[in-house]
Amino acid sequence: MKKDAKISNAVIKRLPRYRRYLKELQKKGVDKISSNEFSSLIGYTASQIRQDLNNFGGFGQQGYGYNVEGLYNEISAILGLDKEYKMVIVGAGNLGQAIANHTYYYKAGFVVCGIFDINPRLIGLKINDIEVMDYETIVDYVEQNQIDIGIICTTKDSAQEVADKLCFAGVRGLWNFAPIDLEVPEYVAVENVHLSDSLHSLAYHMNRNYEEKEKAAEK
């Protein structure tokens, strides 16, 4: 990575997509790929791909392109996916249970170690062999087990208090599914997943595409 370079969030958000396509190429036995070939496959321009990767050193060779396995490993390291992360889920409702049961996270090095809730009817329940614990014990658990990531699946009203506790206990990142923007210390990373925002964006694109189709039909 270029020393002291500030990488835009837009570039970071494209890296997992690059990695995912590179993994598929590996499965097909592809050893190398040019930026133009990658462009045709992934949908970004070749120039965009080169610019994005140049933020971290480039990795390509003129006249050869990119080594698929090498680039996959480099992007994995840039994203920090060459490590394992311990996570806790706060909120054992439908969303929390779905995340706990999604085995992809475990395969990718994100391990759910604990699940917490305030509902007495849920405490003691086992989800994917993980027992739901009393939320009141979360600070001690996070500290003792050196948890890296807190996943917030609570209501909007509870989310900030949960975030405060998790930050106090020492997590380095929050994956927030509550419909609220959290206030956290600068050293804690936050990724907000506002499901309604995503659905609203989908509605916009659907309507825009329909309008463009109608205009084209009128010509």
| Span 105-153, pLDDT tens digits | 777 899 999 999 999 999 999 999 999 999 999 999 999 999 999 999 9
Binding residue ranges for NAD(+): 91-96
Of the candidates 131, 134, 144, 132, which has an alpha carbon nearest to the alpha carbon of residue 86?
144
Place 14 in a pLDDT band, splitting at 50, 70 and 90.
very high
How many beta carbons lie within 10 A of that of residue 95, not counting itself?
18
pTM: 0.85
Domains of the chain: 9-78 (1.10.10.10), 85-196 (3.40.50.720)
Query: Which residues participate in the annotated binding site?
Result: 91-96
What's the sign of the alpha-carbon dihedral 104, 98, 191, 90? negative
* CA-to-CA dists, residue 99 to 46, 58, 104, 105, 125, angstroms: 35, 35, 9, 8, 15
